[in-house]
């Protein structure tokens, strides 16, 4: 919002003039000083509208020719603010007044202009909307608010393209009838514009509602599809876990059987009795892979006796301290595995 209290602006509209008989004295005029709509192509503001609801003007103020204070046409006797600004007044018996009246009699389409001093200016951005003088105004535009009208002028050209100038010869009563009809037409036009705006807004809301409904239905379908996919994945995961457990159990069984076969062969080479239930053998069968390999390596380094003395391996089948030679092999296997691990870590 811009402070514009020290600026004056001129907006040209259209007057109507009544030619009075000489016996009736001075001639009178009636004019539309401002039509209430957006004025376009203004030299400074491009698109401007001033809010008549906050605009004030004295009933009697100067009427000039082209805003020249040395060319006095007359003065206003009535100013009305509504959806538009209309004025009535008297044409003075002066050079400028006689010029205006003479050209009007010849059919010249006089228009009008006002000197307006806005206190504030509301600047509307692109696509911004505001209601002014009963009409919807869309940005970009400048809205004059809390303005003061200083004077009204007759001029050759008006800035408001929507207003036409009508110069006529009629009695005051005829002028009031015409004014009432114009006010009615403007009111009807404003109502029609409001109706069209509301209808367009309703259609837009209905279209958006349809889009939301379609989007909601699509989202519901996607949710159902995702729920089904999640259930399927959970079922597949459970089946995979079950298969993995079965495979692990089967692998353990096969590994144990394979180890038993290998150890049985090693024991057989050394002419030892293989007992899978013996604590030392059971420990080797359940040991880590590196320990099991080292144990077999240790067994491989032992040469079988050509003719072992009777009772040489009796302690193998016994329990307790007499199994020390076999436990020594297990410990040797563990040491071999530890050294192999240290070597790999060093590398």
Tens-binned pLDDT, residue by residue, of the chain (347 aa): 444 544 556 555 556 655 544 435 688 888 888 888 888 876 677 888 989 999 999 999 999 998 899 999 999 999 999 888 889 888 998 999 989 988 988 888 888 888 888 899 999 998 899 999 988 898 999 999 999 999 988 988 766 555 433 333 334 434 443 554 555 666 677 677 778 888 888 888 888 888 888 888 888 888 888 888 898 889 888 888 998 888 888 988 888 888 888 988 888 888 888 888 888 788 888 888 888 888 888 888 877 755 544 554 455 444 444 444 555 666 666 676 677 667 767 76
Cα separations in angstroms, 333 against 171, 298, 327: 132, 6, 10
Nearest CA to 12 out of 79, 138, 78, 110 is that of: 110
**Structural tokens at position 305:** 């006796």
Q: What are the residues facing 30 on neighbouring strands?
A: 16, 88
Specify the pLDDT at position 274: 84
Specify the pLDDT at position 15: 63
For the entire predicted model, the pTM comes to 0.46
Rounded Cα gap, residues 28 and 185, in angstroms = 24
Count how many residues are written for the chain.
Answer: 347
Rounded Cα gap, residues 326 and 332, in angstroms = 10
Nearest CA to 326 out of 317, 335, 337 is that of: 317
Specify the pLDDT at position 9: 61
């Amino acid at each position: 919002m811009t402070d514009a209290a020290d600026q004056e602006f001129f907006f040209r509209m259209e007057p109507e003039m009544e030619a009075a008989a000489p016996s009736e004295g001075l001639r009178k005029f009636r004019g539309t000083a401002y039509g209430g709509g957006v004025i376009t192509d203004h030299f400074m503001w491009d698109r401007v509208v001033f809010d008549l609801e906050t605009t004030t003007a004295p009933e009697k103020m100067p009427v000039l020719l082209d805003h020249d204070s040395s060319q006095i046409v007359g003065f206003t006797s009535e100013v009305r603010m509504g959806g538009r600004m209309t004025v009535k007044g008297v044409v003075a018996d002066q050079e400028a007044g006689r010029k205006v009246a003479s050209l009007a009699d010849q059919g010249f389409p006089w228009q009008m202009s006002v000197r307006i001093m806005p206190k504030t200016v509301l600047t509307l951005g692109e696509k911004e909307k505001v209601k002014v003088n009963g009409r919807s105004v869309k940005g970009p535009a400048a809205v004059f608010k809390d303005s003061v009208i200083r004077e009204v002028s007759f001029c050759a050209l008006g800035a408001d393209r929507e207003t036409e100038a009508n110069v006529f010869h009629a009695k005051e009563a005829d002028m009031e009838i015409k004014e009432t009809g114009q006010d009615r037409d403007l009111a009807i036009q404003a109502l029609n514009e409001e109706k069209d705006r509301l209808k367009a807004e309703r259609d837009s809301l209905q279209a958006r509602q349809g889009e939301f409904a379609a989007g909601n239905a699509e989202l519901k379908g996607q949710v159902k599809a995702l729920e089904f996919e999640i259930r399927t994945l959970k079922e597949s995961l459970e089946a995979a876990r079950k298969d993995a457990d079965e495979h692990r159990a089967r692998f353990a069984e096969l590994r144990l059987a394979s180890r038993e076969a290998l150890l049985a062969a090693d024991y057989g080479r050394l002419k030892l009795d293989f007992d899978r239930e013996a604590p030392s053998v059971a420990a080797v069968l359940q040991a880590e892979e590196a320990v099991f390999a080292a144990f077999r390596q240790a067994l491989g380094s032992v040469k079988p006796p050509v003719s072992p003395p009777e009772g040489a391996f009796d302690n193998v089948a016994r329990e307790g301290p007499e199994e020390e030679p076999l436990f020594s092999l297990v410990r040797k296997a563990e040491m071999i595995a530890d050294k192999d691990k240290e070597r790999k870590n060093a590398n």
